Structure 1
Amino acid sequence: MGMPQKIESFSIVLLVLCNAKLYGLCNGVIDEMICMRFSVKAILCSILRLNCEFDGVDYKGIVLELLIDAFRKKGMLDEAVYVFLDVKDVDFYPNLLCCNFLLKDLLKCNRMDLFWKVYEGMVDRKMDIDIYTYNTVISAHCKVGNVDESKNMLSKMGEKGCFPNVVTYNVVIKGLCFSGAVDEALELKKSMTEKGLVADSYTYSTLIDGFCKMKRPGEARDLLEEMSSVGMEPDIFAYTALMDGFMKVADIEEAFRIKDMMVSKEIKLNHVTYNTIISGLCKVGKMEEARKLIPEMITRGIYPETRTYNFIIEGYCRENDFDKACELIEEMKSRNLALSVHSFGVIINNLCRFGDHERAKLVLEKMISGGIKPNVVIYTSLINSYVRECKFEEASQLLGSMWQKGTVPDVFCYSSLLIGLCKSKRMEEAESLLIEMRSRGLTPNAYTYGAFITGYGETGKMQLAEKFFKEMIDVGITPNIVTYTSLINGFCKDENITQAFSTFRYMLDNRFIPDTQLYSILIHGLSKNGKLNEAMEVLSDLCHKGFVPDVYTYTSLISGFSKQGNMEKAFLTYEEMRRKGIVPTIVTYNTLIDGLCKSGEIEKAKELFDEISEKGLAPTAVTYAAIIDGYCKAGNLAESFRLLEEMQSRGVIPDSFVYNSLVNGFCKEGNTEKALSLFDEMVRMGLVTVHTFNNLIDTFCKLGKLSEAITMVKDMVDMDIMPNHITITILINYHCKEGMMKQADELFLEMLKRDLVTSNVTYTSLLHGYDKIGDRFKMFALFEDMLEKGIEPDEVACGVMMETYFKEGDTKRAFELWSEYVIKNVNFSSAGAQSGGDRPSKVIEILNNMGMQGFMPSLAMCRTLACVLEKAGHTDMLADVLEIMSKFGWIPKAMGLSDLISDNKVDVQTI
């Protein structure tokens, strides 16, 4: 029944002994109960229950104090705290000494969670705490970095009738020094005098150490002198701290002066003193001086320890002198010093840092043969070294060997290799390694997930990147700013701006503050996708939040405006950038020059080009390519050639783009001789591309020189440059114009066989060709094929087909085509240029034909056509169109032009 009899027996004996005040024997019984592995709960329940039945005398207080003390002495702090907290409802008030000892041990063992529970329990029980309790609690506040609370307790102790002593002040002074508030600590030391307290050697030594750690050894030296002036003899701790302070500021001479002072005062130097000097010398590269101290140590009877040698080994490694570092390993062996993992790890890590992973591997083998087991950190350094040089096979082999040699790789070890594989876009290998890692029971961390998100983002596989991001969130790992930046950058590169913004908003909702880099990536993505208004809004938000846009941010905007041909806004952005003191780079200039050239503003582009050298920048191959192409398109080939010569004289090597621009320029002039001369030069330089051949083939076709064009095609194949869809489309267009439809059809079939892209131009050429020979059946079949492939016909193709449908008498289909494509996409200003300028008159002709055949378009269609014509700038046609519409009854006779247009102010791009 109830508790096991055995526990009750122990509990009865315990209470009997307590009654007899045989507390020593009580401790023995408690020890036995603990050794019997009774749970603390069982022991406690047994004692409390039996205490109630024991002759009406309450011994539980004494027994429970003994129980707390027994658990505490055995290091069973959880059990000791359990006893203290669990009996708070049974009128138990342990004595202050018991509580103070428990608090002290909890603090010593860094069990801060239990510490605060016990202290709160003491406060709840309204226990009168003493100076020892205050000192312990103040120490706890300092330990967790809560120095303000420790100062608060110090100032309010007197109100509780407990006045601080020197130990209390020393605890707070140490806490302030540890947090870097050395000036405040010094003021507190001065206030001790007002309280009638005298600072002791510990006070001074703590302050000296604090000032030295803050690299203020001069003030620390003043404290040492003050210490001596008040009759205190500084100890080795104070001198060593001061010496270390001067070493930290590289004042070697003063550090040695203090060492000499110690010797003159007959203060015996120890390992700590010498290690401080040696470490300081090694950090400033004075390796020989550091090494000379070893014999001096031995002369003084202080034998160097492993730590001493490790400082010198680290120093030699920093100096890239690995031979001497390895010599020290042998010297350590000869002195029978225990070689540590750290000794070898320092050498291996630094060899890896300098890229000498082969030698690092030899040191690793030497380490293993010497019976020292490498740790995960050493292996990770080696793996990182291989990964940096993209030697993934070697890194993978090393990872595998860890298991064989008994060192279990951790998640950081695997992540090092995973990050490298993902950076190199070897995603399949990375996925396989991730599976292996998980099979070993390792859980991916933020770096692992970040690597995959970045890797898949760089390879354009955003679905997989997003999958890893969602998984990361689901397992409770918070993405950092780098992860968010990688994901958003990936979406921007994938032109998925909607998802990029969605991720950005999610990041803001989770209280992450974007940095300039992330804002710049968003601005770049928006600008690249032509969303300049949104990009400017993001720029405004960036500035509003106090971030400063960088040159990359502004260059992205300039590039976006330039690509849209809006050079006015591009230059306004450029000027704003310069007003803010942001210096444009050569990329900024290249962007502006390219935009100006494409807009036909070649002279302004040349002015900007000349400005580059004045700004201390050098034109790059991209700069020359842009301006040479601009002059070629403007027909100024002489200036293009001059720039080519200048480019070569500056050591900037022209690429195929530059030569193709020149070839294209001469082709447009019809100067095939010069174009072929450049072509031969390109062949010698290995710069010929499919674009080069296409320029020449197109020129020969336009000049009616088919045999030369065919020769060019053969040359292409001989040079292993396969004709592309543009090459074959050029040839198809030529054959169609010449009425050679059989050959054109064969070329078209070759395109289909090779899965080459068939474009609007390809189909339009064929449609024109079959129209010439009157093969309407072929035209209808081609047009349907074009639509099935999702190729939207332009106004030229639509015009040809509308005329064909009219000729065939299919007015309904002609009108459907007009409503589906012409109104939706027509651009009469460009159409005129493409079809001899008679396209507007064709519209009038088509409308007349439709009316005469009795076709009745809706009023909405008529309004839309009127708006399209107005938008295209053909106001001269509107009166004629209105007359036709009124004549055939498509619109009310009373409706004027203004009524027709104003009632339908729509954006034709949305139709």
Structure 2
Amino acid sequence: MNQISKPGKSRLPYPQAIFRFKHFEPKSQNYSSSLQRVPDINKNKPISNPFYNLLPETQNPNNIVSLVCSTLKLKDDAHLSLSLLHKTMQEQGHLSHLGTQEISRILLRCQSDSSTALTFFRWVKFDLGLKLNSENCCIVVHILVWSRKFSQAMKILCELVKLDKNVSERLDVFKTLLLCTDDCNWDPVVFDMLIKAYLRMGMVKESFRVFRKMVKLNFVLSIVTINCLLNGLSKMNYGDKCWEIYGMLGRIGLHPNTCTFNILIHVVCKEGDVNKVNKFLEKMEEEGFDPDIVTYNMLMDSYSKKERLKDAIYLYHIMFRRGVVPDLLTYTALINGFCKGGNVSVAHQLFSTMIHRGLKPDLRAFNTLLVGYCKEGMMQEARSLLHDMIGDGIHPDEFSSRMLVEGYHKQGSLISALNLVVELQRFGILVSQDVYDYLGIALCRENRPFAAKSLLERIACPSYEPNPEILCNLVSSFCRCNSLEEALDLKAQMVSKNMRLDLVSYKAIICCLCKLSRCKEAENLIKEMAESGVWPDIEICRALIKRLCQKSNFSEAEYLLRFFAEEFQVFDTGCYNELIRILCEKGDMVKLMEFQDSMIKMGFVPNGQTCKYMIDGLQRVMGMQKGSVSNGTSCT
């Protein structure tokens, strides 16, 4: 067995030095702990180095310890005396002699008076601003725990653990606490507190490591601390470590209680093995523990989520036989299971049974059934349930209203969803911004921009500000409905509020402008896009160049084709072929060849359609030339 030792001191191996807490008897009636008090070897021990006697009295470290301790004895005015002492030591430059070793010695001399020790500890930490080491902190923790001042001890312990979390090199707080037991009074509960401190700081793995060390040294923790550790590990999905702890309980002489089994039931349910759940439940009963309402609710929730509804209903009937009355959580779990399975009628019956048995549904129970109704498209029943909620004094939350709006949307009845929002406002229920945004976007996508605009204008909440997403959708919807002026007005409002349009909304406006032959405005909008950091895509390029080609504006189309290629790296072969086609139709082969050469150098790649247009153009030119020749011959 490894030994932990201090310089200048010898220690026995752990099995002899550390005793099992619950079997150790105190040696003196003056000690409230079940452990032996280790004498304070530093309390009256003088500094052995004779050269300290050559120092001036005020610079002698031993005298500094005595000076501080004598000051602390002035209990009526200890704070004032320490403040004066601080000023004196600072003026004479003696603070450098008060190091961590001297601080520990002073704390040990004050361990019989925890208030005095804590006063000194805070004075050093806050008034002097000295850096305390882990040993100083652990001594104070031991003193406070010995004096039953658990909250103050836990605060310091959490700070120490937090420091352990932040520093690059790990502090072994457990080892330091253990070493400090040689010099001061201590209580075994301090190690339970250490595990809880790690859990409070979210350091679950570290708490488990401390647990392993304690088991290795035959320490015995309380079952309450074990349950806290199991719960922390369960929340972090460390199921294997939970079972490892459970396997150690018998070896360290601890017996699990109902809370322990409930936590482990929860672990098994999260693992998803329902057969293992049943086996563990049997083991729990073999050890003399009857499942309570918490156990049944966890099992019910697990069965319902996995849609093992027969097992859930069987358990529901077993509860009554064993005298365990189902509560609100039981019924909510069952209702959720049947709603997920599509059997809303049974869920409705369970909801009615729950009310008949005197249980008042809460928001979660109402929402569970509400989701079932909306999922099955039973919107009339969902609306009626909403009225029941409001009648029972339960205000629907964001989830409730969102489910109803989505339900109406799936049924293709956005008008009913709009009426629902108006009705909620009439009842004084605040509808969240997310619900308004969802409904507004849904209206835009169904090309009802004026209805969406009207919804945004009559929103009761004065702090509501439509986000850019819904406004961009509204711009696009106006364009799809050929309401260009409304789209441009809305765009101007967004720009004035420093809101950026997205690519889709810009594209919608540009395409709409091209349809109306307002190509110059579209070109200006492309420049605005580039300045705002939104690059046009190939569809915008095609819409604009196609419209210019239809107007036979070759030079402007060629300029834009080059502009898109050079500025935005958009190389559209379709637009390139469209210009080829125009030149071929004109029969200007010289300009055609010049255009093709310049486009290839820029990066355009001809395809089969390009070749077809050029062949057709050459044939057309050759035909025209033959016709001219034959006409000339006939004339001669």
> TM-score with structure 1 length normalisation?
0.40
Corresponding residue for residue 371 of structure 1: 462
| Structure 1 CA distance for aligned equivalents of residues 352 and 262 of structure 2 | 29
Residues 1:726 and 2:609 aligned together: no
- CA drift of 1:727 comes to 1.5
Superposition pairs for residues 299-318 of structure 1, below 5 Å? 301-307=392-398, 308-318=400-410
Shift in Å, 1:262: 1.8
Aligned partner of 1:101 in structure 2 is 196
Post-superposition CA distance 1:346-381 (Å, at most 9, x none): 4224324434343223322333x63133475xx424
Equivalent position amino acid for 1:380 in 2: E
CA distance in 1, matches of 2:94, 2:455: 63
* 1:249 partner amino acid: G
Q: Which amino acid aligns with 1:116?
A: K
Q: Which residue of 2 aligns with 1:280?
A: 372
Secondary structure, in 3 states, of the residue corresponding to 2:458?
A: helix
Does the residue aligned with 2:359 lie in a helix, a strand or coil?
Answer: coil
- The residue type paired with residue 86 of structure 1 is L
Matched, 1:380 2:273: no
Q: Does 1:44 align with 2:132?
A: yes
Aligned length: 461
Alpha-carbon contact 1:240-1:276 (below 8 Å) kept:
yes
Choose which of 268, 276, 299 in structure 1 pairs with 2:360: 268
Residues 141 and 150 in structure 1, CA contact (< 8 A), matched pair in contact too = yes
Q: CA deviation at 1:220?
A: 1.4
> Does the Cα contact within 8 Å between 1:27 and 1:70 map onto a contact in 2?
no
8 Å contact from structure 2 (residues 374, 403) kept in 1: yes
Distance in 1 of aligned mates of 2:229 and 2:532: 49
Distance 2:381 2:586 in 1: 71
Structure 2 CA distance for partners of 1:60 and 1:739, relative to 1, 3 Å: same
C-alpha distance in structure 1 between counterparts of 2:508 and 2:244, whole Å: 51
Partner of 1:92: 177
SS at match of 2:440: helix
Per-residue deviation, 1:238: 0.4
Query: Aligned letter for 2:199?
Result: K
1:32–1:454 CA distance, 2 compared to 1 (3 A) = farther
2:358 and 2:103 map into 1 onto residues whose CA distance is 62
Give the 5 Å matches for 1:208-223: 208-223=300-315
Do the aligned partners of residues 333 and 732 (structure 1) sit closer, same or farther apart at CA in structure 2, a change above 3 Å counting?
Answer: closer
1:723 shift after superposition: 8.8
Q: CA-to-partner distance for each residue in 1:851-883, whole Å, 9 max, x for gaps?
A: xxxxxxxxxxxxxxxxxxxxxxxxxxxxxxxxx
User: Could you tell me whether the CA contact under 8 Å between 1:340 and 1:372 is conserved in 2?
Assistant: no
CA offsets 1:629-658 (integer angstroms, 9 cap, x no match): xxxxxxxxxxxxxxxxxxxxxxxxxxxxxx
Instruction: Quote the offset at 1:310 in angstroms.
Output: 4.7
Note the 1:867-886 alignment, pairs <5 A: none
Which of 346, 350, 364 is equivalent to 1:254?
Answer: 346
Distance 1:217 1:314 in 2: 27
Q: Are the equivalent residues in 1 in contact too, given 2:300–2:312 (CA < 8 A)?
A: yes
Cα distance in 1, alignment partners of residues 327 and 132 from structure 2: 49
Superposed CA offset, 1:394-438 (max 9, x none): 8898688568669x88xxx95876999999999997897576469
Q: Quick one: distance in 2 between partners of 1:168 and 1:156?
A: 13
Q: Pairwise mapping of residues 662-741 of structure 1 onto structure 2 (< 5 A)?
A: 724-732=617-625
Q: Does 1:233 align with 2:328?
A: no
1:194 aligns with 2:286: yes
Q: Give the counterpart letter for 1:327 in structure 2.
A: N
Unmatched 5+ stretches in structure 2: 1-89, 181-189, 515-521, 546-560, 575-580, 588-614
Q: How far apart are residue 241 of structure 1 and its match?
A: 1.4
Q: Max radius of gyration: which structure? A: 1
Residues 344/60 of structure 1: CA separation in 2 closer, same or farther (3 Å cut): closer
Report percent identity of matched pairs.
19
- On the 8 A contact 1:150/1:172 being kept in 2, the answer is yes
Report if aligned partners of 1:71, 1:80 keep a CA contact under 8 Å in 2. Answer: no
Structure 1 residue 258: deviation in Å? 1.3
What is aligned with 1:184?
276
Relative to structure 1, the CA distance from residue 730 to residue 253 in structure 2 (aligned partners, 3 Å threshold; closer, same or farther) is: same
Alpha-carbon offset, residue 251 of structure 1: 1.9
CA contact (8 A) 2:207 2:229 kept: no
Counterpart contact for 2:104–2:135, Cα < 8 Å:
no
**SS of 2:464 mapped into structure 1:** coil
Task: State the AA in 2 paired with 1:191.
Answer: K
Equivalent residue letter for 1:143: K
CA deviations 1:718-743 (Å, max 9, x no partner) are: xxxx9933312344578899999xxx
Contact 1:297-1:303 at 8 Å conserved across structures: yes
Q: Where does residue 599 of structure 2 map in the other structure? A: none
Q: Which TM-score applies when normalising by structure 2?
A: 0.55
Residues 302 and 691 from structure 1, CA distance in 2 versus in 1: closer, same or farther, beyond 3 angstroms? same
User: Is 1:69 the equivalent of 2:154?
Assistant: yes
Between the aligned partners of 1:468 and 1:165, the Cα distance in structure 2 is 70
Task: From the superposition, tell whether residues 90 and 334 of structure 1 become closer, same or farther in structure 2 (CA, over 3 Å).
Answer: same
Secondary structure (helix, strand or coil) at the match of 2:176 reads: coil
Cα distance in 2 for residues equivalent to 1:468 and 1:171: 60
**Could you tell me how far 1:68 is from its partner in structure 2?**
7.2
Q: For residues 728 and 316 of structure 1, do their structure 2 counterparts lie closer, same or farther at Cα, with a shift above 3 Å needed? A: closer
**CA distance in structure 2 between the partners assigned to 1:86 and 1:322 by the alignment:** 61
- Where does the alignment leave 5 or more consecutive residues of structure 1 unmatched? 52-57, 439-447, 470-486, 495-687, 695-721, 741-911
Paired residue secondary structure (2:132)? helix
Measured at CA, do residues 235 and 50 of structure 1 come closer, stay the same or move farther in structure 2, by a change above 3 Å?
closer
Over aligned residues, Cα RMSD in angstroms? 5.8
Q: How far apart, in 1, do the equivalents of 2:447 and 2:94 lie?
A: 69
Q: Measured at CA, do residues 346 and 225 of structure 1 come closer, stay the same or move farther in structure 2, by a change above 3 Å?
A: farther
